[in-house]
Structure 1
Amino acid sequence: MKSVSIVTVNYNQPKVTEDLLKSLLEVNTYPDLEIIVVDNGSKVNVVPEWEVKYWNVKFIRSDVNTGFAGGNNLGIRYATGDYLFLINNDTEVTADLIGKLVDRLEANPRIGMISPKIHYFDQPDMLQYTGYTPMNYYTCRNACIGQFETDRGQYDHLSGVTGYAHGAAMMIRREALEKAGLMSENYFLYYEELDWCERIRKAGYEIHTDLSALIYHKESVSVGKRTALKEFFMNRNRILFIRKNAPSSAFFIFCCYFLAAVVPRNIFQYLRNGEYGFIPVFLKAITWHFTNKPDSTHLGFPLSR
């Protein structure tokens, strides 16, 4: 039996993380499991308390918030499993979830990464994810298949190759990880898993879904719906993803599209909604690219703890 390392990241959500641990320890039926929790610079360090309460879980504490990629990468470095399952701390598993994903990876060595079907936790019959369409490099747009629809099994036939895995739940083969490397930490938040999928494909693997496997996701627990942090990184990283992954001709067309369509549209929406503070944040997300290379570690946004 293949061993699986679970990696999850906690940031100021100890109760949510404990719900996940309870789910992994009491609901999951896959036996060969290593659970790693990274506390990513939370204001209150609960790791000492957790180490007593959950003796069979490995805890790692970072004194600073290193973002989604940085926190997961830290956990990955300590993981020993044949497969690594990165899941958000605001998820809860189903009993046979992990076993089904392992079985699919074992059956097809071409799969480098796989995601399950995702339902919204608060509306358990509603789909969040059954796969992604490919990325349009000219607009940096793609679609999440089935999102917000009631699950009637209408997409279950799509199990197989997909555009991208979902960052809330993605299992990676160790060999694929070793070839593709860790997630790029300069994204900090958003688009890093899409970039990772691109590199896994370039390493010779496929990205799949297994829609017979199910996980529940409590969406937007850690970041919220609309914040300056989200506006900055969603826009900066949208451009960064294309800079890193698209051919130069596609990047040029994307820049023309972004400046001609996205910039005026977003500024108009900020003005219409009275969100005046988002305008300098949005412009800062764009101008970051004038002074930074694609692999720059300068985030460009002040992070509060």
Structure 2
Amino acid sequence: MTDVVVGIVGFRCAQAIAECLASLDGSSHPVRAVYVCENGGAAGFAELEAVLRDRFGGEGVPADGVSGEIDRGVVLRPAGAGHAVGEIRLLRARHNLGYAGAINAMIAALASRPDWSALWILNPDTEPRPDALAALVAHARAGGYGIVGSRLIVKDSGRVQLYGGRWRHWLGRGYNIGLGAAADSPVDRAAVERAQQYVSGAAMYVSRDYIAQVGPMSEDYFLYAEEVDWCLRRRGFRLGYAHESVVLHDHGATIGSSVDRRARSPLSVFLDERNRLILTRRFYPAAFPVAAVATLLLTGQYLRAGAVRNFRVALAGWWAGLRGETGRPRRLGPAGAPEL
């Protein structure tokens, strides 16, 4: 039996995390532990702890090994029998670490644990089906993959969000393989694996060997594109796709990355535009001049959608990417709230 730890990054979305954990608790494959890194400060952490205690019961005890960017840790052990989840470890970040920073803080906390062989990273707004993890474990073991993705289904529409992703370096944009297909459409799994260049960060199963040999996620992006970077750095590891691993995704519910350009949060718009250029320059330098022009032209989509404010934000993100700005956005407030 492969011992799997789940990692979730939170930012003041306690109810969404509780729903995700409720789905995980029905898994047919046991979950050794769930680590949740809360980026939303003391208030976000207090709400998360209260919601999860109310949902799963059990007494919280201080976690050991808290250090670095984590200033508090609490361990919850679900009360009663029949739980797939062994324990829930809540980590409070000293400040908003961003997505990769929070993942890396969890990886650092896991370093001294001998009892895990894979980290399953999930977005708070996902709901794994009961057999999703078992399918991932079986596929990863059979193929010797470093990272394996699931079949992501948009919760509202019931259509495929993606099987895997490709990076269109001339446009500086990702491409979702399978986008819009019926949830139960037949798929050539091997063809998906040949075509994909990255696995979605919303649900990515990463082996401990991969983390040890490739290293942690890059924190240059803060949010968006870091999973693409991680996969493009994969050395000799293979990327897998487990079609029988189905994960529902309430796409954009927790971070404001709505498909409606008028409804998108300014932070998501800024980072989306900036990080496309960061990644393209890093991995496809020959394509960067073309991608820079293409991404600038494509910001006009915000104007056509009537999202004038977000058009200005998109231009600011594009300019930041052109200048090579990385890491925490300069306009992000000290409490972690976007000030764009």
Q: Could you say whether these structures have the same fold, taking a TM-score greater than 0.5 normalized by the shorter chain as the test?
A: yes
For 1:141-152, list aligned pairs within 5 A.
Answer: 141-152=173-184
What residue is the counterpart of 1:29 in the other structure?
A: 28
Q: Is the 8 A contact 2:132 2:246 kept in 1?
A: yes
Q: Does 1:172 align with 2:206?
A: yes
Q: Structure 1 residues 106, 302: CA separation in 2 closer, same or farther (over 3 Å shift)?
A: same
Q: Secondary structure at the match of 2:175?
A: coil
Q: Is the 8 A contact 1:41 1:63 kept in 2?
A: no
What residue is the counterpart of 1:58 in the other structure?
A: 89
Q: Does 1:127 align with 2:174?
A: no
Matches of 2:34 and 2:304, distance apart in 1: 46
Q: Structure 1 residues 61, 146: CA separation in 2 closer, same or farther (over 3 Å shift)?
A: same
Q: Which moved more, 1:52-61 or 1:4-13?
A: 52-61
Q: Does 1:244 align with 2:282?
A: yes
**Offset of residue 36 of structure 1:** 1.0
Q: TM-score, normalised by structure 2?
A: 0.78
Q: Does 1:234 align with 2:234?
A: no
What residue is the counterpart of 2:290 in the other structure?
A: 253
Matches of 2:168 and 2:48, distance apart in 1: 42
What residue is the counterpart of 1:196 in the other structure?
A: 230
Q: Structure 1 residues 138, 16: CA separation in 2 closer, same or farther (over 3 Å shift)?
A: same
What residue is the counterpart of 2:331 in the other structure?
A: 301
Q: Which moved more, 1:34-43 or 1:92-101?
A: 34-43
Matches of 2:291 and 2:240, distance apart in 1: 27
5+ long unaligned stretches in structure 2: 59-75, 78-86, 259-263
Return the letter of the residue paired with 2:161. Q
Q: Which moved more, 1:70-79 or 1:96-105?
A: 70-79
Q: Secondary structure at the match of 1:176?
A: helix
**Offset of residue 219 of structure 1:** 1.0
5+ long unaligned stretches in structure 1: none
Q: Is the 8 A contact 2:299 2:315 kept in 1?
A: no
**Offset of residue 174 of structure 1:** 0.9
Q: Is the 8 A contact 1:16 1:90 kept in 2?
A: yes
**Offset of residue 244 of structure 1:** 1.3
Matches of 1:215 and 1:298, distance apart in 2: 29
Matches of 1:275 and 1:153, distance apart in 2: 35
Query: How many percent identity over aligned positions?
Result: 25
Q: TM-score, normalised by structure 1?
A: 0.86
RMSD, matched Cα: 2.3
Matches of 2:321 and 2:161, distance apart in 1: 32
Give the count of matched residue pairs.
Answer: 291
Q: Secondary structure at the match of 1:277?
A: helix
Q: Is the 8 A contact 2:124 2:254 kept in 1?
A: no
